[in-house]
Amino acid sequence: MHARVNTARVEPGQIDEFAAAAKALLPRAKPQATGLNSALVLGDRHTGKIVIVSNWDSEAAGDAAEPMYQQAMREFSRFLAEPPTRERYEVRLEI
Protein backbone atom coordinates (compact mmCIF):
# COMPACT_ATOMS: atom_id res chain seq x y z
CA MET A 1 0.00 0.00 0.00
CA HIS A 2 0.98 3.58 -0.52
CA ALA A 3 0.00 6.84 1.15
CA ARG A 4 -0.02 10.42 0.04
CA VAL A 5 0.34 13.18 2.61
CA ASN A 6 -0.83 16.64 1.55
CA THR A 7 -0.11 19.57 3.83
CA ALA A 8 -1.52 23.07 3.45
CA ARG A 9 -2.56 26.06 5.49
CA VAL A 10 -5.90 27.83 5.52
CA GLU A 11 -6.84 30.95 7.41
CA PRO A 12 -7.64 29.71 10.93
CA GLY A 13 -11.15 31.15 10.72
CA GLN A 14 -11.86 29.00 7.64
CA ILE A 15 -11.00 25.60 9.07
CA ASP A 16 -14.65 24.61 9.49
CA GLU A 17 -15.50 25.72 5.95
CA PHE A 18 -12.55 23.75 4.59
CA ALA A 19 -13.65 20.66 6.53
CA ALA A 20 -17.18 21.00 5.15
CA ALA A 21 -15.84 21.30 1.60
CA ALA A 22 -13.64 18.21 2.11
CA LYS A 23 -16.59 16.30 3.57
CA ALA A 24 -18.64 17.14 0.47
CA LEU A 25 -15.87 16.46 -2.05
CA LEU A 26 -14.24 13.25 -0.84
CA PRO A 27 -17.32 10.99 -1.05
CA ARG A 28 -17.99 12.29 -4.59
CA ALA A 29 -14.39 11.67 -5.61
CA LYS A 30 -13.94 8.20 -4.11
CA PRO A 31 -15.87 6.28 -6.82
CA GLN A 32 -13.60 7.87 -9.45
CA ALA A 33 -10.45 6.96 -7.52
CA THR A 34 -10.01 3.25 -8.09
CA GLY A 35 -7.70 1.93 -5.41
CA LEU A 36 -8.41 4.64 -2.81
CA ASN A 37 -8.87 2.86 0.51
CA SER A 38 -9.30 5.82 2.84
CA ALA A 39 -8.72 9.51 3.35
CA LEU A 40 -8.15 11.29 6.63
CA VAL A 41 -8.39 15.06 6.98
CA LEU A 42 -6.65 16.63 9.99
CA GLY A 43 -6.74 20.27 10.97
CA ASP A 44 -5.32 22.57 13.62
CA ARG A 45 -7.88 25.25 14.42
CA HIS A 46 -5.24 27.60 15.91
CA THR A 47 -2.69 27.57 13.07
CA GLY A 48 -4.90 26.66 10.11
CA LYS A 49 -2.62 23.75 9.20
CA ILE A 50 -4.40 21.01 7.24
CA VAL A 51 -3.05 17.51 6.62
CA ILE A 52 -4.79 15.09 4.26
CA VAL A 53 -3.61 11.49 4.29
CA SER A 54 -4.88 9.21 1.54
CA ASN A 55 -4.24 5.46 1.54
CA TRP A 56 -3.97 3.69 -1.84
CA ASP A 57 -3.78 0.06 -2.97
CA SER A 58 -0.64 0.87 -4.95
CA GLU A 59 1.53 3.73 -6.11
CA ALA A 60 0.03 3.30 -9.59
CA ALA A 61 -3.50 3.74 -8.20
CA GLY A 62 -2.46 7.01 -6.57
CA ASP A 63 -0.80 8.16 -9.78
CA ALA A 64 -3.92 7.32 -11.80
CA ALA A 65 -5.97 9.61 -9.54
CA GLU A 66 -3.87 12.68 -10.42
CA PRO A 67 -6.74 14.36 -12.35
CA MET A 68 -8.99 13.93 -9.30
CA TYR A 69 -6.27 15.43 -7.07
CA GLN A 70 -5.89 18.44 -9.38
CA GLN A 71 -9.67 18.99 -9.38
CA ALA A 72 -9.77 18.78 -5.57
CA MET A 73 -6.96 21.33 -5.29
CA ARG A 74 -8.87 23.68 -7.60
CA GLU A 75 -11.96 23.35 -5.40
CA PHE A 76 -9.94 23.81 -2.20
CA SER A 77 -7.90 26.74 -3.56
CA ARG A 78 -10.37 29.30 -2.22
CA PHE A 79 -9.36 28.25 1.30
CA LEU A 80 -5.60 27.82 0.87
CA ALA A 81 -3.30 30.49 2.27
CA GLU A 82 -0.29 28.89 0.54
CA PRO A 83 0.30 26.16 -2.05
CA PRO A 84 -0.02 22.63 -0.66
CA THR A 85 2.89 20.23 -0.41
CA ARG A 86 2.58 16.54 -1.22
CA GLU A 87 4.70 13.59 -0.17
CA ARG A 88 4.46 9.91 -1.02
CA TYR A 89 5.13 7.04 1.32
CA GLU A 90 5.08 3.27 1.28
CA VAL A 91 2.80 2.05 4.06
CA ARG A 92 4.89 -0.16 6.33
CA LEU A 93 2.30 -0.85 9.04
CA GLU A 94 -1.43 -0.35 9.41
CA ILE A 95 -3.28 -1.48 12.50
43 occurs within a structural domain: yes
Q: How far apart are CA 75 and CA 67, in angstroms?
A: 13
Q: What is the pLDDT of residues 58-93, one digit of tens each?
A: 999 999 998 888 888 898 999 999 899 999 999 999
- Count of domains forming the chain: 1
* CATH code, 13: 3.30.70.100
15 occurs within a structural domain: yes
Q: What is the 3-state secondary structure (H, E, C) of 13-66?
A: HHHHHHHHHHHHHHHHHHHHCCCEEEEEEEECCCCCEEEEEEEECCHHHHHHCH
51 occurs within a structural domain: yes
21 occurs within a structural domain: yes
83 occurs within a structural domain: yes
Q: What is the pLDDT of residues 37-66, one digit of tens each?
A: 988 999 999 999 999 999 999 999 999 998
95 occurs within a structural domain: no
Q: Is 30 exposed, middle or buried (0-12, 13-18, 19+ CB in 10 A)?
A: middle
pTM: 0.88
Q: Report pLDDT for 28.
A: 76
Give the mean model confidence (pLDDT) for residues 23-37: 81
68 occurs within a structural domain: yes
Domain range for 9 is 2-90
The helix/strand/coil state of 80 is strand
